[in-house]
Structure 1
């Protein structure tokens, strides 16, 4: 008889059964989680990443996947994949099925779409990082994520109203970063003040308004507090002085007023403090105890009084920006001498005394700006050894003496600005070693001597402005080596000799001013080859000879050759009223068209004799009769023909689409009757084919030295070699491979030895500029404008993200957005476009391309352009669509454009609705204001915080007008019934 099981045996069997059951359960759960992770991976199949190479089903365990962490039970607790080039939409319904998930870190990727309410199911999350992505829509309610300690949604693309109320439940938060998102405006969120475990709080640029509450003092553990770029006003609260753990405090770009609160100096752990661009006042005495400070930014405020001498004892100070205040007294003599000092800008104050000698003592200083003060004395000799210096600006002071020789040759120096001082002596011959020098501004001083010939070796020079000094001698003969030179100003000096013919090799020159010198000889013909030249002033010199015919080819806005010794015939294209005053003072000049100039024909009768006159009369009569006969014949044969283009026996046509027309049909229709527009690079004609189809044909100006105002019609003017221009090459390179409904279609190019034609689809509604601002303006409600905005954005998104190699347009503006018969937009005019090279190199040019009012601010001072420059320009276009205003208008105030105007108006009033064009109907003004917020995001001064065009498209789609949405829904419902 078998033995009966004991109680111990029974318990053991139950335990084994339970263990077996749990192992089966665990295995089942692991299998489920593996499927969830593989589904997660599938969402990012198009991502350019290798992170998922290890994510294979045959792996022994998913816990070996890169970026995955499991607990001891082989259950997933962390997904950690920041900066992995992930591109796709997050599916939170599956992610939150990982019930033990504590960390989800997907920051700095390319995630897009909206975040669904299923996020609320991730109740065990302690760490959530979705920052620096391209999401759209609103942030869902976060109340259920009560375990969160770390929350980063910074610059993630979210908009609309943030669920501030849900922060009440997140009392474990230690790190909170929500900045750089275009949320709806909201009063300072008091819910934040109860998160007393916070050590990091970043709410910069997320549309917070009102005053900073005194309750901020509750957050005593804070080490980092950033509330910049919002709509905050009033005083800095007194209780902020209780945050003694702060090492970084940033409050810039608000409307804060008043003085620093008493006791502010108790924040002795502060390392970085930025309160710039506010309306603060009072002195800086509360700052003098912040001995650990490394970066102090207080510029554009109303601070007064002296700079505390204690600043000279700060042994960690690296950056000091106090410009545009009302500070007086002198700079502390020891400032910067005890630290690795890098940057000082105290411009636009009332500072006096000498320049401190030791700011570059440790050889780290890069920026030196003390302009528009009352400093005296000279530049200390020590700065001649400051090889780290990149920018030196001391203009508009009372500085004097000679410049230390070594300064002229500092290797990294890009700008020397010494204008409006009392400096004297020569420019050092070692300036040729300054290979990074782009801007040399010495105007309005007492410099003398000859320009060193070595200046021609400083080949990075873009601007040379030496006016109103005592320079003498000749312009260096090899100045043509300066291929990047854009502006040359030597007016009001003692310069003599001739104008070097090599000046015509400075292919980037746009402005030449040599007025008020003693320059003699003839004007070089080579100046006429400067395609970019816009202003030429050679007045009040001793120039002789004739005006070169080559100047006729230039598109000059200013020509001043007055008060010289010029003789002969004024070229016909220069004989216009606009240039008349610029030609006076030359008694030897003659013209058949300008009043107060003698007639050129009167010269011929003074130098012959009677027999010569008779002979000429006879010969002339014969020629006249023959000419009359030819004229009658030609008029009869070519009646009504006014052809600005020469016929050729052969043309080179390159097709980019299937064509239903020939080159003859196009060429035969190019005449002045069909001229519909003129641009900077050529004329545009409308061609109507026999089939009734219409085309737009652009003739691109040639890159030769001839007349760009008309097409060639004489064989003597044919260009040898390749007549193509950079604009032509850019258009063809860009558009020949582009296929997008919102980019203008280039059918073909037609070239001959003297003509470049580009044949496009014809868009009957002209440009967006015409429809918004010109005499062809029409009434457009918001639905039409919105569709134009979205369509144009999609076109740019395709150029930036959809092409094999990204295309940067560089001249995005309303006149380059054309409208078809249905008001659908198409991006046009790619004459300035740049294709990003395969190695990812972007364009860097010292010639600013683009149109004033649309040019991104960084382009003006770095001469670098990338996709974010197009984003800025498109933001201006959005502002035009919403406000109806032009990008530059006198009503904005002096030196202000639409971006500055919008920002100013935003700060002065609570709502954006008052900025919306009155032509937009009231029910849609709120929708338009939402797009204005997107425009503001696009035009941020810092390019890195601007959205990509892909993100802009998503934001615009989220801002679709409600009425338009309803129309679409109704149409879809009607279609489903049918």
Structure 2
């Protein structure tokens, strides 16, 4: 435009942006010209200039006071520039202004001067979207009686109530006052603004009830009151018949949505989300108006969606998530071809999903989020081309997975009844970033074409029936961060190309994978990623725990190949014979297994036996190894159990047999929340198995003394330790006082206290337990049992057993919890008990925080409690350098807790 400002080209009145009257310039309109230089003073030599529009440029000076000399200027638009600083106090020098002053979208700061109100004939005052952080002259602005448009929005003014003076501006058509720190209630004086077409008071701190006059305004079309703190109910008689948009979301409104809203003839957009509204939607909503958008999410609404919601075929958006809506979707949605966004998640909808919404040709639908309902039905053969986000998780959709294409970015269909194979043609969704088909009934193999999903960030196909090998194409998904293929039937080796991946989360557990785990994943960060794949291995014992070392592959020379081939036939014959004998023997063994249940079981002995493998052992004890086995049907949800395997060997005496019988006899009858649950026992002529509930957090010993080995994030805090101590004490109390006959554990120690996911403690390992056949009488044993460091001193001399030896051992556990030391460290004092007594003798009441474990020292609010428990134990429990009897010590360490 400015390139044609040349007198040789044409007279100035023909230049772009110039308006003339009788060859005299009266208007300059140069928006979007990237002007950066300040306005020249000579501009006001144009004595007849009445109109100046320099909006959307790059002017960055202070307010151009050179315009004061433009004596006839009536219209001034300097919006969308970078003018900064404070407005001058003498703005009234622009005395001719009576039409329009627009300074919006700049960087003005400070106060708005009172002189802004000294333009009595001004019709438009637009000061929104600046950085005014002071005050605005409400009284002076209230004198602009001819104003038709007033905008002060989007400025960080000092908090102040909505001015009653604005009620004098009775000619206002547009009032935009959002996001400017308005407080208090809407004054009644504003009810005089009878010409209002748009009222926007959103994003403030207004409170109280929305005035009745607003709901009954005769000319109001646009009402924005969202993001405030309005309370109370919506006026039951909404008679503002010109209302087109009602937006009062994010408030604290209660009560029901009045039926009168459904009769507003021009209503297109209603947004009431994030309130506390209850009841149902007006039954004829959408029937009497061209409704285009409905948003009522995050309320307490219930009932069914109105039958005529899309009666006029104008609806493009529905958002009703996080309510209690139920029933089927209205039939009018089946032909709602303009619908773009359907967001219904977290409700109680049921019935078949309308098939018309899947229409490929005419459908405009792009976002469908209907997860966490009870929808049923099948998906179309092919999804609409313009779908960008589809989430149908946690419903009851069935049938095959459709072919996908178009603009799909997110696909979630977890926990449905989808079956069949994943389509091979994935080229149409190459831009998808999230793909979740977990917990379905998908079978077949993974398509090799999955490598085309190069933008994929997360993929979850867990808990299906997928078989075959893992495609090497996964290794080329460079932006992949989450991969979950667990609980399937995948086999073969993990592709070496996995070493190229940078995953934050990987889960390949509960499959049938073989071979070496890719080296980049052989570290503690992925310790839980490969569980229950018995045939996986690692290259070093210093990498992942509980996986065997891979056997080195032999290097066969060319000269040895001939000899190897010559022996293959003999080897094959030998193997066939061996396998036939092996199968026969295995069949006999399986027939000889006997299962004795103690609780209702959802697995069989075959589930346990087939899951046992040396690669999945999680620990070993005095009488056998312990394994972690996944049982049951993976598709319907199995369970994890701990299996203790006790072998009978000829070179051992009957001691192991007695251990087994003792544990079965005791635990099979015990029912207590703080004693580990024995689910069943399985025995044969060769081995005996005890099947327990699985305790996910392992033993207390691991959390106190092996944190680095098990990879836990930090030490236990004092409240958790105290809870563990109380749970353990309750378990022992039940054994000693509520069992008939009473039970003595005889091996109470931190390794035999197991922890569930919530760190609730349970006593375990009763291989040394002894039932007191005559309650109240001591029992003698021919040999010492227990663990050094936890045994009472006199027990080794007297060999007398009663429940008080467990109490002594419990005291040692309590000292472990307090100090973080092991029960027997082989040091100067040989045991933790002796060390504690020595510290107490030397320091008395001067005990310091250095006695405590590191997990307690930093918790200043609990240090005193922990030291008090330590003192009480030492004072009562170990008094007189162990000369006290067990009876005198038996309750000392339980009293503090």
**Scaled by the length of structure 1, what TM-score is found?**
0.54
Cα deviation, 1:14-33, whole Å, max 9, x if unaligned, reads xxxxxxxxxxxxxxxxxxxx
Out of 223, 238, 249, the position equivalent to 2:173 is 223
In 2, distance between residues paired with 1:547 and 1:576? 16
Out of 420, 435, 455, the position equivalent to 2:385 is 435
Secondary structure at the residue paired with 1:155? coil
> Could you tell me which residue of structure 2 aligns to residue 175 of structure 1?
124
1:532 paired to 2:479: yes
Q: 5 Å matches for 1:522-601?
A: 522-593=469-540, 594-601=543-550
1:120 paired to 2:68: yes
> Could you tell me which residue of structure 2 aligns to residue 351 of structure 1?
301
Out of 151, 161, 172, the position equivalent to 1:202 is 151
Q: 5 Å matches for 1:939-978?
A: none
Cα deviation, 1:92-146, whole Å, max 9, x if unaligned, reads 5212232332222233344443333222222322111112233333333311122
In 1, distance between residues paired with 2:55 and 2:141? 23
> Could you tell me which residue of structure 2 aligns to residue 362 of structure 1?
312
Tell me, yes or no, if the aligned pair for 2:234 and 2:257 is still in contact at 8 Å: yes
1:99 paired to 2:47: yes
In 2, distance between residues paired with 1:602 and 1:70? 94
Tell me, yes or no, if the aligned pair for 2:83 and 2:108 is still in contact at 8 Å: no
Secondary structure at the residue paired with 2:515? strand
Secondary structure at the residue paired with 1:56? coil
> Could you tell me which residue of structure 2 aligns to residue 686 of structure 1?
none
> Could you tell me which residue of structure 2 aligns to residue 137 of structure 1?
85
Secondary structure at the residue paired with 2:182? strand
> Could you tell me which residue of structure 1 aligns to residue 354 of structure 2?
404
1:146 paired to 2:95: yes
What's the Cα RMSD here? 2.5
> Could you tell me which residue of structure 2 aligns to residue 56 of structure 1?
7
Distance 1:287 1:271, change over 3 A: farther
Secondary structure at the residue paired with 1:584? coil
Q: 5 Å matches for 1:368-767?
A: 368-409=318-359, 411-431=363-383, 434-452=384-402, 455-456=403-404, 458-593=405-540, 594-602=543-551
Distance 1:130 1:468, change over 3 A: same
In 1, distance between residues paired with 2:490 and 2:327? 40
Tell me, yes or no, if the aligned pair for 1:138 and 1:160 is still in contact at 8 Å: yes
Tell me, yes or no, if the aligned pair for 1:92 and 1:116 is still in contact at 8 Å: no
Secondary structure at the residue paired with 2:474? helix
Tell me, yes or no, if the aligned pair for 1:144 and 1:169 is still in contact at 8 Å: no
* Structure 1 unaligned spans of 5+: 1-49, 617-978
Secondary structure at the residue paired with 1:552? helix
In 2, distance between residues paired with 1:414 and 1:324? 24
> Could you tell me which residue of structure 2 aligns to residue 14 of structure 1?
none
In 2, distance between residues paired with 1:373 and 1:532? 36
Q: CA deviation at 1:275?
A: 0.7
Tell me, yes or no, if the aligned pair for 2:112 and 2:137 is still in contact at 8 Å: no
Q: CA deviation at 1:207?
A: 2.6
Higher relative contact order (CA 8 A, sep 6+): 1
Tell me, yes or no, if the aligned pair for 1:147 and 1:172 is still in contact at 8 Å: no
Distance 1:288 1:230, change over 3 A: same
Distance 1:167 1:406, change over 3 A: same
Tell me, yes or no, if the aligned pair for 1:528 and 1:551 is still in contact at 8 Å: yes
1:284 paired to 2:231: no
> Could you tell me which residue of structure 2 aligns to residue 336 of structure 1?
286
Tell me, yes or no, if the aligned pair for 2:79 and 2:103 is still in contact at 8 Å: yes
Tell me, yes or no, if the aligned pair for 2:112 and 2:134 is still in contact at 8 Å: no
In 1, distance between residues paired with 2:76 and 2:124? 10
In 2, distance between residues paired with 1:444 and 1:154? 52
In 2, distance between residues paired with 1:59 and 1:510? 60
Secondary structure at the residue paired with 1:447? strand
In 2, distance between residues paired with 1:256 and 1:215? 17
> Could you tell me which residue of structure 1 aligns to residue 245 of structure 2?
295
Distance 1:373 1:602, change over 3 A: same
Cα deviation, 1:432-470, whole Å, max 9, x if unaligned, reads xx1110111001111112212xx23x2311111111111
Cα deviation, 1:147-190, whole Å, max 9, x if unaligned, reads 21233334342322244211232112111111111223325633
Distance 1:592 1:288, change over 3 A: same
> Could you tell me which residue of structure 2 aligns to residue 261 of structure 1?
211
Cα deviation, 1:678-732, whole Å, max 9, x if unaligned, reads xxxxxxxxxxxxxxxxxxxxxxxxxxxxxxxxxxxxxxxxxxxxxxxxxxxxxxx
Greater CA radius of gyration, 1 or 2?
2
Q: CA deviation at 1:612?
A: 8.6
Secondary structure at the residue paired with 2:315? coil
Secondary structure at the residue paired with 2:162? coil
**Scaled by the length of structure 2, what TM-score is found?**
0.59
Cα deviation, 1:565-604, whole Å, max 9, x if unaligned, reads 1111112112111112111100001113334444344476
Out of 35, 40, 45, the position equivalent to 1:87 is 35
Q: Which moved more, 1:119-128 or 1:266-275?
A: 119-128
In 1, distance between residues paired with 2:199 and 2:435? 45
1:233 paired to 2:180: no
Cα deviation, 1:741-763, whole Å, max 9, x if unaligned, reads xxxxxxxxxxxxxxxxxxxxxxx
In 2, distance between residues paired with 1:459 and 1:419? 21
Distance 1:182 1:515, change over 3 A: same
Q: CA deviation at 1:289?
A: 1.5
In 2, distance between residues paired with 1:530 and 1:188? 60
Distance 1:596 1:301, change over 3 A: same
Distance 1:142 1:57, change over 3 A: farther
Tell me, yes or no, if the aligned pair for 2:54 and 2:78 is still in contact at 8 Å: yes
Distance 1:387 1:126, change over 3 A: same
In 2, distance between residues paired with 1:578 and 1:612? 42
Secondary structure at the residue paired with 2:109? coil
Distance 1:498 1:430, change over 3 A: closer
Runs of 4+ in 1 over 6 A off after TM superposition: none
Distance 1:554 1:260, change over 3 A: same
Tell me, yes or no, if the aligned pair for 1:294 and 1:316 is still in contact at 8 Å: yes
In 2, distance between residues paired with 1:558 and 1:496? 24
In 2, distance between residues paired with 1:101 and 1:598? 87
> Could you tell me which residue of structure 2 aligns to residue 799 of structure 1?
none
Distance 1:352 1:464, change over 3 A: same
Q: 5 Å matches for 1:776-855?
A: none
Cα deviation, 1:898-952, whole Å, max 9, x if unaligned, reads xxxxxxxxxxxxxxxxxxxxxxxxxxxxxxxxxxxxxxxxxxxxxxxxxxxxxxx
